[in-house]
C-alpha cells in the first residue's frame, strides 16, 4: 500500500518519504491481537507529527515509521464486540500509521462517523473534539452560562473548543492573531473575537463583566499570566498545549490571591486505559453533532504525497481548523 514514512529526524521537508509498505495486520499495539482495520479516505495532520519529524515528540518510534494519529475512512474488518463493523464509515484514532491507505485503530478509538460529516471532517474529529470536550467538561468543569476564553481559537483544538463550548451553553470569547483567523473563529461560534497582539485581557474582563470562568489554552508562552489575570473568582485556566513555543511558569501567589486554578488537560494519557470514558465522550460528540453544534472546520487539504507542505503550513502558523491529507 502507499504510505508516507518518517525516515530521518531532519524536519518536515527532508524527513518524509512517500513509499510502498506492506499492509498492517489486524491488531494494534494498544489492544494486542485485536484492532479495527480502516481503509483510509482522509488522514489528519497535527502538531505531534511535526514534532515527530524532528524526534521532539514524547513518543519516539523506531525509524522508519508511518506517522498519522487519526483518520476518516471505512472499516474493512473489526473484532467481535467492537462498536463498529465492516463497511461502517468511521473516525478513528490510530496514534501512528494513519498516513497510509490502510490503518489500524484500537476498537475503543473507532467511532461511527455521523452522517452529517464527511471523511475529511472525520479525520479531524477524535483528537481535537475529544480533547476539547475533555478539557471543557472533565477538567474545566464548565457549567451552562459560563464564559470561556479560547486561545489559538482558529486552530484545530480552538475551533473544536468554540463549537463544543457553544453547544454546552457557554458564552465564547476567541483570541486570534489575524483577520482571516478572526473570520474562522466567528464561523466556529465565537461571540466575541479579540486579537492576541492587543489588550485582550482587559477586553475579556470587560466583555465578561469582571472576568471569564474558563480559559482553554493550547498556546502557552508569554500570554499565560494575562490568562490568569483575565479570570473571575473561581475561574480556571485549562492547559492544553504549547504551540507558542515556551512552557509558562506560574507564580502561585496569583492563584491564592484570586481563588483561581490552573488545570492540566492531557486527553490521550487520561483516556487510553478507560474505554468507558471514550465511549461516553463519543456519545457526547454524537449528540452535539446531531444537534448541529459540531462541524469540524477543514481549513486545508493536501494529497498524501504533499504531507511536507501540510506540516509546513502548521509550523508557519498558517493553518486554520484541521489540516487533512486526502488519501483515496
Ligand atoms: N492536551 C492534549 O490532550 C492535546 C490534544 C490535542 C492537541 N494538543 C496540543 O494542542 C496544541 C494545538 O493544537 P492544534 O491542532 O489546535 O494546532 P493548530 O491548529 O496549529 O493551532 C494552534 C494555534 O496556536 C497559535 N500559535 C501561537 N503561536 C504559534 C506558533 N509559534 N506556531 C504555531 N501556532 C501558534 C495559532 O493561533 P494564532 O495565530 O491565532 O495565535 C494557531 O492557530 C498543540 O500543541 C497540540 O499538541 C494537546
Ligand 1 pocket check for 302: Cβ under 6 Å: no
Q: Where are the alpha helices (DSSP H) in 123-266?
A: 131-133, 156-167, 179-187, 200-207, 224-229, 253-258
Chain segment 154-192, per-residue pLDDT in tens? 999 999 999 999 999 999 999 999 999 999 999 999 999
Ligand 1 pocket check for 64: Cβ under 6 Å: no
What pLDDT does 131 receive? 98
- Ligand 1 midpoint to CA 32 (Å): 32
The pLDDT mean for the chain works out to: 97
CA 227/CA 215 separation, integer angstroms: 7
Chain segment 223-239, per-residue pLDDT in tens? 999 999 999 999 999 99
- Ligand 1 midpoint to CA 155 (Å): 6
pTM of the model: 0.97
User: Do 132 and 160 touch, CB atoms closer than 8 A?
Assistant: yes
Ligand 1 pocket check for 139: Cβ under 6 Å: no
Which among 61, 59, 112 has a CA at the least distance from the CA of 85? Answer: 112
Ligand 1 pocket check for 44: Cβ under 6 Å: no
> What sign does the dihedral 155-158-160-162 (CA atoms) show?
negative
Chain segment 107-138, per-residue pLDDT in tens? 999 999 999 999 999 999 999 999 999 999 99
Ligand 1 pocket check for 181: Cβ under 6 Å: yes
Q: Which atom of ligand 1 is nearest to the CA of 242?
A: 45
Q: Which atom of ligand 1 is nearest to the CA of 128?
A: 6
Which residue of 156, 194, 238, 243 sits with most ligand 1 atoms within 8 Å of its CB, as the best mutation to test the pocket? Answer: 243
Q: Which atom of ligand 1 is nearest to the CA of 264?
A: 1
**Residues 6+ away with beta carbon under 8 Å from 315:** 12, 50
What pLDDT does 245 receive? 85
Percentage above 90 pLDDT, the chain: 98
CA 237/CA 142 separation, integer angstroms: 11
- The residue whose grid cell reads 483518520 is 71
Q: Band of the pLDDT at 287, cuts 50, 70, 90?
A: very high
Ligand 1 pocket check for 127: Cβ under 6 Å: yes
**Quick one: how far is CA 98 from the chain centroid?**
15
CA 301/CA 83 separation, integer angstroms: 29
Ligand 1 pocket check for 200: Cβ under 6 Å: no
User: Do 111 and 32 touch, CB atoms closer than 8 A?
Assistant: no
Which residue of 152, 179, 264, 311 sits with most ligand 1 atoms within 8 Å of its CB, as the best mutation to test the pocket? Answer: 152
Amino acid at each position: 500500500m502507499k504510505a508516507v514514512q518518517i525516515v530521518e529526524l531532519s524536519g518536515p521537508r527532508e524527513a518524509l518519504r512517500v513509499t510502498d509498505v506492506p499492509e498492517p495486520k489486524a491488531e494494534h499495539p494498544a489492544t494486542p491481537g485485536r484492532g479495527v482495520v480502516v481503509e483510509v479516505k482522509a488522514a489528519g495532520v497535527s502538531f505531534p507529527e511535526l514534532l515527530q519529524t524532528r524526534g521532539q515528540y514524547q513518543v519516539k518510534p523506531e525509524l522508519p515509521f508511518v506517522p498519522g494519529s487519526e483518520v476518516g475512512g471505512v472499516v474493512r474488518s473489526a473484532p467481535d464486540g467492537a462498536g463498529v463493523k465492516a463497511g461502517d464509515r468511521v473516525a478513528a484514532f490510530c496514534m501512528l500509521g494513519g498516513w497510509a491507505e490502510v490503518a489500524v485503530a484500537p476498537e475503543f478509538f473507532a467511532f461511527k462517523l455521523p452522517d452529517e460529516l464527511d471523511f475529511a471532517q472525520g479525520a479531524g474529529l477524535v483528537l481535537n473534539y475529544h480533547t476539547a470536550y475533555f478539557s471543557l467538561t472533565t477538567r474545566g468543569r464548565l457549567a451552562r452560562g459560563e464564559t470561556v476564553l479560547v486561545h489559538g481559537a482558529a486552530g484545530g483544538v480552538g475551533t473544536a473548543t468554540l463549537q463544543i463550548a457553544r453547544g454546552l451553553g457557554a458564552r465564547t470569547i476567541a483570541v486570534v492573531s489575524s483577520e482571516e483567523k478572526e473570520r474562522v473563529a466567528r464561523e466556529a461560534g465565537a461571540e466575541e473575537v479579540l486579537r492576541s497582539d492587543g489588550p485582550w485581557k482587559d477586553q475579556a474582563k470587560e466583555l465578561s463583566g469582571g472576568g471569564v470562568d474558563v480559559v482553554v489554552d493550547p498556546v502557552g508562552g508569554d500570554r499565560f499570566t494575562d490568562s490568569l489575570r483575565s479570570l473571575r473568582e473561581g475561574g480556571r485556566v485549562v492547559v492544553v498545549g504549547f504551540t507558542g513555543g515556551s512552557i509558562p511558569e506560574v507564580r502561585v501567589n496569583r492563584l491564592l490571591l484570586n481563588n483561581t486554578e490552573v488545570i492540566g488537560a492531557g486527553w490521550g494519557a487520561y483516556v487510553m486505559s478507560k474505554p468507558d470514558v471514550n465511549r461516553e465522550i463519543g456519545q457526547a460528540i454524537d449528540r452535539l453533532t446531531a444537534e448541529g453544534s459540531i462541524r469540524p472546520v477543514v481549513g486545508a487539504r493536501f494529497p498524501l504525497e504533499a504531507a511536507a507542505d501540510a506540516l509546513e503550513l502548521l509550523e508557519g502558523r498558517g493553518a486554520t481548523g484541521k489540516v487533512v491529507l486526502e488519501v483515496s
